[in-house]
Structure 1
C-alpha cells in the first residue's frame, strides 16, 4: 500500500535522512530476504530503548520454561536506540530496503507516529490472531490498535496507584482510606497550610510530562484524548473537571508543581518529606522512589487512587512499551512464536515480573497465588497485588490517535497556564484544541 511521501519525509528527517533516501520507493515494507525459516536456530534482532527489555529477551531466549518445545532455538542480538529513533529508523531502513529488526520495542508515546499513512500496516505483522482469543482479559491493547488490528503487545500495564509515606500520613493525621479526590484535596490544603507538605505533584516541565500527568488523571475520571476511531475527544466535562481539580491542588499547596518526576527537585522533596504521596504507575516505585530515596524502604505503601466524586475508576495508567514483529521477513514466524511465549503465557508474564517488575497484561493472573503471594520489601512487605488486582480490574481504556505528537505540543502550554491559575480550565483546553485542529486535518 502506498505511503504519504510528506509523512515519510518528516519521519526520515527525525532520523537524519534526506529525501534522496526515498529513491524510487513509494511503499514502506520490510525487505524480502528469502523464504521463512520454519525451524532451527533463529538469531533474532531486537531494537529497544530500555536495557531492562534487552536483558529480559536475551535471558528468555535460553529459558526452557519459555522456549522449550518450540520449533526454533533462539538467540537475541540487541540494538539500543532512543525511543523516537526506533520508529524513525524503522521507516528509513524500510524505505531504503535495508535490514530491519525482527522485534521492535515501541514506546507508547511514540507509537502514534506509526498510526498514519499505513506505516504500521506496512511494517508490522498483525497480531490480532494472537490477541483475539483473550478478548478483554488481555489488557492495554487499545493504544496499539489501528482499524481494529493490534500491532504490538504491551510489556507492562503501567498501572497507576497512590504511593504514600505511611509514617507521615499517621503523623499528619491523614487517613489511608480517603475515598475521593475532593476529600483528599481538602485535607491536603490544610496540611499544606499547617506544615508546607504536599500530598501530590503535577508537572510544570516539558509538554510531554505536563500532558502525561493530566492524561493520567483524565483517564481515571473516565475521559480520554481520543476515541477508538482516533477522533479527538479531549473537550469534555471530565477534562475540565480534572484540570480544575489539578489547578486547585497547585493553588492550595496540596500539589507540588515540579518539572521532572525523577529530577533533583523531586528527589529533594521526597528526601525531606515535603512530598508525602504521589500518584504514579507501578514502575515509579523502582525509577522514582527506590532510585531517589532507597533509605526510605519500608516507610512507603501503595493504595488504589481515590475516586473522583463524579465518577470514574480507582485506577489509571501512564507510559508503557509494546513490542511488534516486523512482517515478511525470514524470521517473522520465529519472532511471533518467541513473542507469544514471552508475552501471552503465564510463564512468560511471571518471568517478566521477576525480571523487571513488569505487571502482567493477562488480567486473570492478578488473582493467582503466584502473584497474590508476592510481597514488596520496599513497601513494608505489603502484598502489593492486592492493590494491583483491583486496579487492573478497573484499568481505564486508553486510545491514541495519529495526531498525538501534535496534541502534546498544542495543549501542554495552555494546561500549564491553567495550573498556574493564569487562565481557566475550559479556556485552556479550547485554546489547545483550536491550535491542534489548525494543524491536524479532520479524520
Structure 2
C-alpha cells in the first residue's frame, strides 16, 4: 500500500482506532505490478455464495479466457461489520491486505469520510463510466464523484404474494396503488387476521431500511447526490402516515425481525400473505422459511403511490472493491471487470446465486427472459424484475448514514405505531442526528 504516515493517522482517527496501533508503523511499499501469468487473488467476503462464484469464475474460460493472467482465488470469510475495520487496521499496521473486498451496502458509509475509500481502493470509474445509465447501483458506492466498488446484485424490491390466498380472498393480483391495496388489506385483516405486508419494530437498521425502501419507491431519498440530507420531505411524511395507517388497520403486520423467527412463523401460519422485499428475500426469506409453499407464491411490481413515484424500490446489496497499490491490483481489476461488468459474467453470477443483473439491458435478452422460477410457480420472473429494474429509484448514501439510522429508528417507530406525528418524528430524528453527525 502506498499510504503515507499522515494518511494512516487520518484513517485510524476516522475509524475510531487508537493511535497506539501506529507505534513503529510504516507504510508498506508497492510491489512490482504483475503484468501476466499465474495470479493468486485474496478475497474477503461474508457470503459463501460469493466465495463459490468467484472461485468457480477463476477457471471459467467464458469469463477469464483471453486474460493475460490465469487466476486462483483464496477466500477468507469475515462478518460484514468486521471487513471495513480489518481493512483499516491492516492498512494502519502495514499488514497484508486482500486484493478484493466485499462491502455490504450499509457498511460502505464508513469509508466515505477522511479519504478512506480514496486511500484504500482503486477508483473504478473508468470501468463504470462507459456503461452510463445501463449500469445500475453505482451511486451508493460513489465518493466525490468516483466509484470505488461494483454492486453484486440489483436488489430490486418487488411484491411477493400468495397467489392461492389472493384468489381465495378475492384480492386482485394487479391492484394499482398502495392506497387501494391497504384498503383491501384492512378488510382482509378484519375478517381473517391476515396481513398483506409487514413493517419492522425491531432494531434501528431494520426500521429505517423498511421506511427507506418505501420512501425510495415514493420518489424521496435519505440523501441527495451531494450527500445533503433530504429526509424531511412531503414524501417522507406521506410514507410514514401510510405505514401508520397500515399498521393501525392490521393490513401491515408489525414484526420484530423481517428475516427471523417471527416472520418465519407468520409465513408458516399464513398470517403474512404478501410482502414487499428485494429479490434476495425470495431465497433467504421465503424459500428458507417456507419451502413447502413452493408454487403458491408469485411476484409482481409494487403498487404505485397515487401521488407518484416508482413501481419498484431497492434495499440491501454488496459491492466489491479492489485494494490499490499491490502487485496484483491490475489483475484484480481485470478479474472484477470480467466477472461483474460483462454479460457473460452477469449471467454466470445469476446462475451461481440468483444475483440479478446490474446491466439493465440484459433483462430483455433471451438468456434472461426465458428463465422461470419453480418456487414462484414457474413464473418468468425476470419479466417482473426487469420491469422493476427499468424503474428502480436511485439510492444515495453519505458518511453519516449509520448515525442517521440510529437517530431515526426510535422516532420512526413511534410514528409508525401512531404514537407520534410523522413530521414531528422526522424532526426529532434529525435533531438527534445533527448532534452526533460527523463533520
TM-score by length of 2: 0.97
Aligned ranges 1:1-400 → 2 under 5 Å: 2-3=6-7, 5=9, 8-9=12-13, 11=15, 13=17, 18-23=18-23, 31-400=28-397
Uncovered stretches (5+) of structure 1, i.e. residues with no partner = none
Structure 2: distance between partners of 1:431 and 1:130 = 41
Question: Out of 425, 428, 431, which is 2:425 matched to?
Answer: 428
Uncovered stretches (5+) of structure 2, i.e. residues with no partner = none
Structure 2: distance between partners of 1:272 and 1:241 = 31
1:413 alignment counterpart: 410
Q: Structure 1's 34 and 3: CA in aligned 2 closer, same or farther, altered over 3 A?
A: closer
Tell me if structure 1 keeps the 8 A contact 2:205–2:405. yes
Provide the aligned length of Structure 1 versus Structure 2.
Answer: 435
Post-superposition Cα deviations, 1:390-417, rounded to whole Å, max 9, x if no partner, equal 1000010000000001001000011111
Tell me if structure 1 keeps the 8 A contact 2:8–2:91. no
SS in 1 for 2:96: coil
Structure 2: distance between partners of 1:98 and 1:12 = 18
Tell me if structure 2 keeps the 8 A contact 1:342–1:349. yes
How far apart are 1:8 and its partner, in Å?
2.4
How far apart are 1:438 and its partner, in Å?
1.3
Tell me if structure 1 keeps the 8 A contact 2:197–2:275. yes
How far apart are 1:6 and its partner, in Å?
7.0
Q: Structure 1's 406 and 168: CA in aligned 2 closer, same or farther, altered over 3 A?
A: same
Tell me if structure 2 keeps the 8 A contact 1:142–1:399. yes
How far apart are 1:261 and its partner, in Å?
1.3
Post-superposition Cα deviations, 1:252-299, rounded to whole Å, max 9, x if no partner, equal 100001111121111111111100100000000000000000000000
Post-superposition Cα deviations, 1:48-77, rounded to whole Å, max 9, x if no partner, equal 111110111011101111011100000001
Structure 2: distance between partners of 1:280 and 1:441 = 31
Post-superposition Cα deviations, 1:22-58, rounded to whole Å, max 9, x if no partner, equal 23669xx7x3342100001110000011111011101
SS in 2 for 1:163: strand
Structure 2: distance between partners of 1:437 and 1:182 = 33
How far apart are 1:3 and its partner, in Å?
4.3
Q: CA RMSD in A?
A: 1.4
Q: Which runs of 4+ in 1 moved over 2 A?
A: 1-13, 22-26
SS in 2 for 1:179: coil
Structure 2: distance between partners of 1:376 and 1:131 = 30
Q: Structure 1's 388 and 207: CA in aligned 2 closer, same or farther, altered over 3 A?
A: same
Tell me if structure 1 keeps the 8 A contact 2:14–2:114. no
Post-superposition Cα deviations, 1:293-323, rounded to whole Å, max 9, x if no partner, equal 0000000000000001111000100000000
SS in 2 for 1:278: strand
Post-superposition Cα deviations, 1:332-387, rounded to whole Å, max 9, x if no partner, equal 00000000000010000000000000000001000000000000000000000110
Q: Structure 1's 401 and 111: CA in aligned 2 closer, same or farther, altered over 3 A?
A: same
Structure 1: distance between partners of 2:424 and 2:242 = 15
Tell me if structure 2 keeps the 8 A contact 1:221–1:312. yes
TM-score by length of 1: 0.96
Q: Structure 1's 432 and 187: CA in aligned 2 closer, same or farther, altered over 3 A?
A: same
SS in 1 for 2:15: helix
Structure 2: distance between partners of 1:6 and 1:36 = 27
Tell me if structure 1 keeps the 8 A contact 2:301–2:384. yes
Structure 1: distance between partners of 2:107 and 2:192 = 40
Tell me if structure 2 keeps the 8 A contact 1:12–1:91. no
Structure 2: distance between partners of 1:91 and 1:327 = 13
Tell me if structure 2 keeps the 8 A contact 1:363–1:393. yes
SS in 1 for 2:286: helix
Structure 1: distance between partners of 2:97 and 2:10 = 22
Q: Structure 1's 124 and 6: CA in aligned 2 closer, same or farther, altered over 3 A?
A: closer
SS in 2 for 1:261: coil
Structure 1: distance between partners of 2:204 and 2:11 = 22
